[in-house]
C-alpha cells in the first residue's frame, strides 16, 4: 500500500518544535493583553468574492496564488484564506462590531497560497496579526508599530529594521499612477513580462520588482512621496514623531508598496538581512477604505501581520534559546501494582498545577521496567524531581521526592497530603 505523505509546502509541526510555537503564541497573547487587543477567530474558508473585492483583482494573490474551488453542494466559489484582514473586516461588518466604537483585535492561524515552497515561504503558512478598526489617528499607526517592535524585544530578536512609506490618498495615488505609466512607457524595453502585464492595471506594483535588470530604472521612477498633499505628509510625520519619542529607529523606503490594493497612507515593514530573499518578517499599514468596500459603514483601520515561520527561523538564525517545556516531576513506579495509588496522587498534583510525566512501559509485556531504566527516562525528560512510588514508600503511605537537577536531599512526602506539598515541586522555576 502506498505510503501517504503531507502535501508539499504544508508541513507537520512536531514536538519538540511545537513547543517553540506554543511559547511564541504565549508571548504574543501576553503582549496583546497589555496593549488591550482582543482575540478574533474567523473561518479558514471564505467566499472567493471576499478576497477579489478586498485584495484587488490584479494582485498576485488573487491572480495566481489562491486555493479556490467550487462548493459541490451549491456551486458557490470558495477560497482558503490567503490572508486574514479581509475576513476580519467581513466579520466586523457582518456582526456590527463597530456600533459602539473602535475595536483592537488580534488573530493567529494558518493561511494558504499556491506558490513555490522555499525557506520561510510555504503553501500553508501561519500568521499572527493585529487590526485596529475604527481609529483614524496617526497614533494608532504608531501604536501597532510599537506593538510589533515590543514583540521583537520580548523575543530577544535583533537586527530587525523598520521601513516606512506613505501611499497617500486615492487622488494622490491617481496622479502618481499617471506619472508612473508615462515613465514606464518611456522604458518599455526594460520591462519584464510581469511588469508589462501590470503597466496599465497596477503600475505601483512594478516598484516592488525583484528583477535585477530593472532595478536602476525603477529606482529613478517618480516617487509617490512627491505627490502627497499636506495632510498625508502630516499624517506620516505624526507617526515618525511618536516613533522618535519612543526611541524606535526607522527609515523611509519610497519603493515600499505592499501587496494588497487596500492600503492608504502609512505602510511599513520590519525587515531582516538574515533570512535571504524572505527578509520581511512583518508588514502592514493603514486601510481606511476597506470597511466601506466590504459593505460596512465607512470607517478607518490599520494593522499588520507577521509570518510565524519566518520569526521562528530568525530565532534559530540568531541562536536565541526558546524555554524548554519540561515536567516538574517524573513518576517512577517499580511495580505495576502501585499504579492505582501512584496515578491518583499524580492527579492531585496536576490539580494543583504541577506538570507530571507518568512513566509508561511503552507496550512492553515485561512490567514497568527496571528502576535504572526508569531513572534514565526521568533524567531524559528534563524533570526537576523524580517521584518514587516504591514498595517501602507505599507501605508507609509515602512517596519519595528525589531531586534530579541539583544536589538536594531526597525526602519523603505523605500521599494523603499531596495538595500541601505540591508547590515545593515548583521551587526551581
**Does residue 249 have a pLDDT over 80?**
yes
Distance CA 133, CA 144 (A): 12
**Does residue 379 have a pLDDT over 90?**
yes
pLDDT at 382: 92
Tens digits of residue pLDDT in 307-346: 999 999 999 999 998 888 899 999 999 988 899 999 999 9
Query: Percentage of the chain surpassing pLDDT 90?
Result: 73
pLDDT at 259: 66
Distance CA 189, CA 168 (A): 29
**Does residue 368 have a pLDDT over 80?**
no
Tens digits of residue pLDDT in 164-192: 999 999 899 899 999 999 999 899 888 99
pLDDT at 362: 56
Distance CA 227, CA 232 (A): 10
pLDDT at 322: 86
Look up the pTM and report it.
Answer: 0.88
The CATH architecture to which 329-426 belongs is 3-Layer(aba) Sandwich (3.40)
pLDDT at 427: 55
Tens digits of residue pLDDT in 397-428: 999 999 998 878 999 999 999 999 999 998 54
**Does residue 429 have a pLDDT over 50?**
no
- Residue spans of the domains in the chain: they are 17-168+228-317, 329-426
Average per-residue pLDDT for the chain? 92
Length of the chain, please?
Answer: 429
Tens digits of residue pLDDT in 28-71: 999 999 999 999 999 999 999 999 988 877 677 888 899 999 99
**Does residue 155 have a pLDDT over 90?**
yes
pLDDT at 428: 47
Q: What is the average pLDDT across 223-246?
A: 96
DSSP 364: -
Tens digits of residue pLDDT in 268-297: 999 999 998 779 999 999 999 999 999 999
Q: Look at the domain 17-168+228-317 and name its fold.
A: BirA Bifunctional Protein; domain 2 (3.30.930)
Residues 154-165 as b or e (16 or more Cβ within 10 Å = b): ebebeebebbbb
Q: Is 110 exposed, middle or buried (0-12, 13-18, 19+ CB in 10 A)?
A: middle
Tens digits of residue pLDDT in 391-402: 999 999 999 999
Q: What is the average pLDDT across 224-228?
A: 91
Under a CB-based contact definition with an 8 Å cutoff, are residues 132 and 145 in contact? no
User: pLDDT band at 262, cuts 50/70/90?
Assistant: confident
Q: Is 190 exposed, middle or buried (0-12, 13-18, 19+ CB in 10 A)?
A: middle
Tens digits of residue pLDDT in 74-84: 999 999 999 99
Amino acid at each position: 500500500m502506498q505510503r501517504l505523505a503531507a502535501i508539499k509546502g504544508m508541513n507537520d509541526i512536531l514536538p519538540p518544535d511545537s513547543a517553540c510555537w506554543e511559547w511564541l503564541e504565549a508571548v504574543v497573547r501576553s503582549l496583546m493583553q497589555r496593549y488591550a487587543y482582543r482575540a478574533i477567530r474567523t473561518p479558514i474558508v471564505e467566499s472567493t468574492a471576499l478576497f477579489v473585492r478586498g485584495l484587488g483583482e490584479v494582485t498576485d494573490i488573487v491572480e495566481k496564488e489562491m486555493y479556490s474551488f467550487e462548493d459541490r453542494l451549491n456551486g458557490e466559489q470558495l477560497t482558503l484564506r490567503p490572508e486574514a484582514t479581509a475576513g476580519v473586516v467581513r466579520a466586523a461588518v457582518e456582526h456590527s462590531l463597530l456600533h459602539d466604537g473602535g475595536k483592537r483585535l488580534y488573530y493567529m492561524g494558518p493561511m494558504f497560497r499556491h506558490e513555490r515552497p522555499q525557506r520561510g515561504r510555504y503553501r500553508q503558512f501561519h500568521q499572527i496579526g493585529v487590526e485596529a478598526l475604527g481609529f483614524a489617528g496617526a497614533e494608532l499607526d504608531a501604536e501597532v508599530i510599537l506593538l510589533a517592535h515590543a514583540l521583537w524585544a520580548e523575543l530577544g530578536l535583533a537586527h530587525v529594521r523598520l521601513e516606512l512609506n506613505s501611499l497617500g490618498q486615492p487622488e494622490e495615488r491617481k496622479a502618481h499612477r499617471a506619472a508612473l505609466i508615462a515613465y514606464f512607457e518611456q522604458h518599455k524595453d526594460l520591462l519584464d513580462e510581469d511588469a508589462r502585464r501590470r503597466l496599465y492595471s497596477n503600475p505601483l506594483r512594478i516598484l516592488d520588482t525583484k528583477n535585477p535588470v530593472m532595478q536602476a530604472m525603477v529606482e529613478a521612477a517618480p516617487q509617490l512621496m512627491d505627490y502627497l498633499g499636506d495632510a498625508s505628509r502630516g499624517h506620516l510625520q505624526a507617526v515618525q514623531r511618536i516613533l522618535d519619542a519612543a526611541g524606535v529607529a526607522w527609515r523611509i523606503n519610497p519603493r515600499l508598496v505592499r501587496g494588497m490594493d487596500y492600503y492608504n497612507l502609512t505602510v511599513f515593514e520590519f525587515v531582516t538581512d538574515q533570512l535571504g530573499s524572505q527578509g520581511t518578517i512583518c508588514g502592514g499599514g493603514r486601510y481606511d477604505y476597506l470597511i466601506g468596500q466590504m459593505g460596512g459603514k465607512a470607517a478607518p483601520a490599520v494593522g499588520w501581520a507577521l509570518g510565524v515561520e519566518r520569526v521562528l527561523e530568525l530565532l534559530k538564525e540568531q541562536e536565541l534559546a526558546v524555554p524548554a517545556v519540561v515536567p516538574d516531576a517524573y513518576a517512577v513506579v517499580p511495580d505495576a501494582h502501585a499504579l492505582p495509588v501512584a496515578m491518583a496522587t499524580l492527579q492531585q498534583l496536576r490539580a494543583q498545577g504541577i506538570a507530571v510525566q507518568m512513566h509508561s512501559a511503552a507496550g512492553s509485556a515485561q512490567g514497568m521496567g527496571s528502576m535504572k531504566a526508569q531513572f534514565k527516562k526521568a533524567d531524559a525528560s528534563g524533570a526537576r524531581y523524580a517521584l518514587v512510588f516504591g514498595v517501602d514508600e507505599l507501605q508507609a503511605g509515602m512517596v519519595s521526592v528525589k531531586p534530579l537537577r541539583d544536589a538536594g536531599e531526597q525526602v519523603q512526602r505523605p500521599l494523603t497530603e499531596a495538595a500541601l506539598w505540591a508547590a515545593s515541586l515548583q521551587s526551581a522555576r
